[in-house]
């Protein structure tokens, strides 16, 4: 997997410089130029970049910035969501999403080209798996969104969600490296509490996340209250069934002293009945949990339908009456296929902002 400047933790950058015979003291201005000022080209001309570092940056030994090209930029009709199609060094493509909320902006980042999990209602899962992203390719997505926000809104990123293309815990080390860089106070300085990692239930990754030094929010996709139901929607449930998944979530919550967020995509006539709601409430009883209810977003490869607002609300009331807090997720960016489960590195004709 390729190494890029964006994907080097501060300590790794110091080590790279020392290995090349450059005093590691030069790591601080270079890290700041890359991670805080978001410079990509002509780094050797940046403020604080002294001659020894200038020579290293111009040399063949130097680690180069991530090769990432903007292919397409589409905005939702309400102007609150923008989707970026980005081409990587090998010609593969990923999508990132910028979402505007009152008082804050959030970036939804991808961790893989495609996805190996195969969730039947997810456009990325329908693609199949191509490859993992490097830490630099993940960080570069955040940089792109941050750069665009500064340019168009005069604002900055406040939140990161690893809910784009791919299963981030299946690509654990590069994802953690990227998030540790993004949360470094010498860089973008986005606090760990404002970073969420979504998983379909990849238990080895949840166990590693439980022991990771930083505490990032954990969001787990459920979508079914029994192994039979969940297995029809999420194939890896056959490998890591619900009982094992919930045990891993309880361990995470206890060790990290953190609430676990559970996602439940509401599919009309499939998992949106009162009975499903009662069984979900029983499943999560006693846990420090919050349920995000997500009305199904359309994808070409799945013919399910979203429930009515009344049905969604009735489902929510049942789990809330059982003492489990919940939110019906606002549907965003659906008209440009930027909603949850819709990312597929596909170019869409749309009015630009």
Write out the catalytic residue numbers. 95, 340
How is residue 299 annotated by DSSP?
B
What 3-state DSSP class applies to 33? helix
* Alpha helix positions (H), 131-226: 135-152, 172-182, 203-210
- The residue among 138, 261, 258, 259 whose CA lies nearest residue 188 is 138
- Cα angle vertex 229, ends 226, 231, to 5°? 100
How is residue 334 annotated by DSSP?
G
What 3-state DSSP class applies to 251? helix
* Alpha helix positions (H), the chain: 10-19, 27-35, 51-58, 123-127, 135-152, 172-182, 203-210, 227-233, 242-256, 274-283, 309-321
Round to whole Å and give the CA distance between 35 and 103: 23
Question: Within 10 Å of residue 59's Cβ, how many Cβ atoms?
Answer: 10
Rg (CA), the chain: 21
Round to whole Å and give the CA distance between 269 and 306: 9
Task: Give the pair of three-digit tokens for residue 341.
Answer: 């489960």
């Amino acid at each position: 997997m390729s190494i890029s400047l964006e994907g080097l933790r501060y300590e790794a950058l110091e080590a790279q410089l020392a290995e090349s015979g450059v005093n590691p003291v030069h790591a601080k201005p270079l890290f700041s130029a890359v991670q805080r000022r978001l410079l990509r080209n002509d780094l050797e001309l940046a403020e604080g970049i002294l001659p020894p570092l200038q020579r290293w940056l111009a040399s063949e030994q130097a680690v180069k910035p991530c090769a990432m090209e903007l292919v397409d930029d589409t905005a939702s009709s309400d102007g609150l969501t923008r989707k970026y199609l980005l081409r990587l060094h090998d010609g593969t493509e990923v999508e990132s999403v910028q979402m505007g909320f009152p008082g804050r902006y959030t970036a939804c980042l991808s961790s893989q080209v495609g996805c190996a999990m195969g969730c039947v209602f997810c456009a990325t899962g329908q693609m199949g798996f191509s490859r993992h992203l490097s830490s630099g390719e993940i960080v570069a997505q955040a940089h792109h969104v941050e750069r665009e926000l500064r340019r168009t809104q005069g604002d900055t990123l406040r939140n990161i969600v690893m809910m784009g293309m791919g299963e981030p815990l299946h690509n654990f080390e590069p994802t953690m490296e990227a998030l540790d860089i993004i949360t470094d106070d010498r860089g973008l300085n986005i606090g760990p509490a404002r970073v969420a990692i979504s998983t379909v239930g990849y238990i080895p990754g949840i166990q590693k996340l439980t022991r990771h030094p930083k505490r990032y929010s954990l969001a787990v996709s459920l979508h079914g209250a029994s192994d039979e139901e969940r297995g029809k929607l999420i194939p890896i449930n056959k490998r890591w069934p619900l009982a094992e998944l919930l045990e891993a979530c309880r361990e995470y919550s206890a060790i990290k002293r953190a609430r676990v967020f559970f996602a439940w995509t509401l599919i009309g006539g499939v998992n949106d009945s009162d009975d499903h709601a009662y069984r979900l409430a029983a499943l999560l009883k006693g846990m420090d949990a919050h349920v995000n209810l997500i009305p199904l977003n359309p994808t070409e490869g799945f013919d399910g339908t979203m429930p009515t607002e009344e049905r969604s609300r009735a489902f929510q009331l049942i789990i809330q009456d059982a003492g489990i807090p919940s939110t019906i997720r606002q549907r965003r960016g659906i008209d440009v296929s930027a909603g949850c489960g819709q990312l597929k590195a596909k170019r869409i004709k749309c009015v630009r902002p």
